[in-house]
Amino acid sequence: MAEAKKADEMFKEFKEHSISEFFKKNKQMLGYAGMVRSLVTVIHEYVTNSLDACEEAGILPFINIRISNIGENKYSVAVSDNGPGIPKKYIGKALATILAGTKFHRYMQQRGQQGIGASGCTLFSQMTTGKQIKVKSVTGNAERYSCSISIDTVQNKPVISDYKDIEESSTGLSIEAEFATVKYENSDHGVYEYLKRTALANPHTEIRFVDPDNKEYTFIRAVDEIPKRPKPTKPHPLGISVNDLIEFAHKSESRKISGFLEDTFARVSSAKVNELGALTGLDMKKDPRKLEWDDAERMVKGFKQVKWVAPETSIISPIGEDQIRVAMKNILNPDFINVVERKPSVFYGGIPFVVEAAISFGGNSGKKLGDEEYSGSILRFANRVPLLFDSGSCAITQAVRSIQWKRYGIDIENQPVSVFVNVSSVYIPYSGVGKEAIASTDEIIDEIKLALMDAARGMQRYIRGKQQFNVETNKYKTIMRYAKRLSKDLNELTSEEETSIEKSISTLVARHYPKATEKGETDGQPEEEADQSGK
């Protein structure tokens, strides 16, 4: 029998590793799994960083993207924007230090959250090609420079070389990098589709894209208004867990629980503190740093019994009904659009969120499978960012599939229908680090379902009107097919002028089928529905 190892021997191999080393071995957690998805992930990370930077600086975004094939499953990616640029002293941390950035510690709505994205691209380029990324930055402080960057994965620190001053005038950031084990594909999960959906959810953005075949695409800016900048916020009491409450309390600098609650959470006033104290029997003058688990449990139960004011809308920046409608008309050109925006709600951790949903019919909605064959499509977004992958595990997909669409006269499997859902929040609960699916949170799923059902009711009215219009039009055409012959026969019987008889018949038939003649036969839909689609 082999001699058992002693603990000291077992732990000789015990080592501490950097976060960069961890993700180097687990790149799939950053979205680098599969060649097509990996390339989309690179574009996603650079584009979302550009959008966030431009919006925070108050600049209407203009983003240039070029992808060039430089070998088998090897591409060069160049992305540039007109944003504020990155100061020289922060360039290394921004692009080559995992979990460093301006976003993770701020309790406000942003596209990126973790401080991984752009640095993850640098790491992925380094892992697959062994090369540094090339950067140019021009800031409003007249810093104009270029450099090359990679990551020291053992120390999780940037390695920067080739600093040079450059002669550029316009502010912005340009990044050029090479990536291997990636593939460009013009599919529903490819770069072009990602950029099209980005334009759909960000109508204030202009994007120019040149693909590996040197084909140029431009998604023109549809609105000239920068989205309202969301404000930093505090968590809402509804949805706070016991563990969250204790962590907040033990870090508090307040001397009393009453002060702690008012300082830490949104919508908490002295009156609400008194109401909570009466409900729970807790001493609100107690030091919050001495709050214990049992007391915190009672307080969380009390939170659910108090009637709270909903979270402020200023802390969240949804796309907006008008902007969604303009963008969908610009990109999809549908026959009908119905857009719904729900009021702010909260999920666990007291985090506020807003759901926007839209349904479009006709035009370029859905997917065209053949000459007369279509299927519906689900357009998923989180904080205006398209979610192309992991659809099966996403709360949006689950909510869409749970709707009984046929109740509303909608056949999502066989009609040209697009279902658009955007979830905006200070914190999106993604189901993975790759940020491609929203976790199955009950509160979020319920809000999506309510928004979709509301949007579907508007679509139902349109479809019924369209069906009725088609029925009337067909009847009108059938009767009018015999109007000329009938006019001639009546002319022989009555000696009345044939053209006068035909005109009288047309007037009589039109009176019985008014919808068929209100708009003529030019656009295939009656006045009422045309008004709805053009809101």
| CATH assignment at residue 73 | 3.30.565.10
User: Same domain, yes or no, for 330 and 278?
Assistant: no
**Structural domain includes residue 234:** no
User: Same domain, yes or no, for 201 and 299?
Assistant: no
Residue 519 has pLDDT above 60, yes or no: no
Give me the torsion for CA of 408, 412, 414, 418, rounded to 10°. Answer: 110
What does DSSP say about strands 351-361 and 385-386: parallel, antiparallel, or unpaired? Answer: unpaired
Q: Which phi and psi angles does 418 have, rounded to 5°?
A: -115, 130
Give the pLDDT mean for 231-243.
Answer: 81
pLDDT category, 27, cuts 50, 70, 90?
Answer: low
Residue 515: the pLDDT is 66
Containing domain of residue 166, as a range? Answer: 19-219
Residue 106 has pLDDT above 60, yes or no: no
**Structural domain includes residue 225:** no
**Structural domain includes residue 235:** no
Q: Coil, helix or strand for 258?
A: helix
Beta bridge partners of 420: 358, 379
User: Same domain, yes or no, for 128 and 249?
Assistant: no
Structure tokens that stand for 233 in this block = 């916020």
Q: Coil, helix or strand for 249?
A: helix
Residue 288: the pLDDT is 94
**Structural domain includes residue 8:** no
User: Same domain, yes or no, for 447 and 467?
Assistant: yes
User: Same domain, yes or no, for 256 and 366?
Assistant: no
**Structural domain includes residue 136:** yes
User: How confident is the prediction for the chain on average, in pLDDT?
Assistant: 85
Q: Is 261:268 a contact under the CB 8 Å cutoff?
A: yes
User: Same domain, yes or no, for 499 and 420?
Assistant: yes
pTM strictly above 0.85: no
Residue 155 has pLDDT above 90, yes or no: no
Residue 491: the pLDDT is 78
Annotate 89-130 with DSSP letters as a single string: GGHHHHHHSTT-SSSTT--S--S--SS-HHHHHHHHHHHHH-
Q: Which phi and psi angles does 491 have, rounded to 5°?
A: -60, -40
**Structural domain includes residue 57:** yes
Q: Which phi and psi angles does 420 have, rounded to 5°?
A: -110, 125
User: Same domain, yes or no, for 319 and 297?
Assistant: no
Q: Is 39:181 a contact under the CB 8 Å cutoff?
A: no
Give the pLDDT mean for 251-259.
Answer: 93
Residue 107 has pLDDT above 60, yes or no: no
User: Same domain, yes or no, for 280 and 345?
Assistant: no
> What whole-number distance in Å separates Cα of residue 240 and Cα of residue 227?
29
Q: Is 396:197 a contact under the CB 8 Å cutoff?
A: no
Residue 347 has pLDDT above 90, yes or no: no
> What whole-number distance in Å separates Cα of residue 377 and Cα of residue 388?
11
Query: How many other C-beta atoms can be found within 10 angstroms of the C-beta atom of residue 278?
Result: 11
Query: How many other C-beta atoms can be found within 10 angstroms of the C-beta atom of residue 103?
Result: 16
User: Same domain, yes or no, for 326 and 353?
Assistant: yes
User: Same domain, yes or no, for 122 and 263?
Assistant: no
User: Same domain, yes or no, for 186 and 40?
Assistant: yes
Residue 410 has pLDDT above 70, yes or no: yes
User: Same domain, yes or no, for 159 and 271?
Assistant: no
Q: How many domains does the chain have?
A: 3
- Out of 305, 327, 349, a domain closes at 305
- Out of 157, 184, 219, a domain closes at 219
**Any idea what the CATH number is for the domain that residue 285 is in?**
1.10.8
**Any idea what the CATH number is for the domain that residue 484 is in?**
3.30.230.10
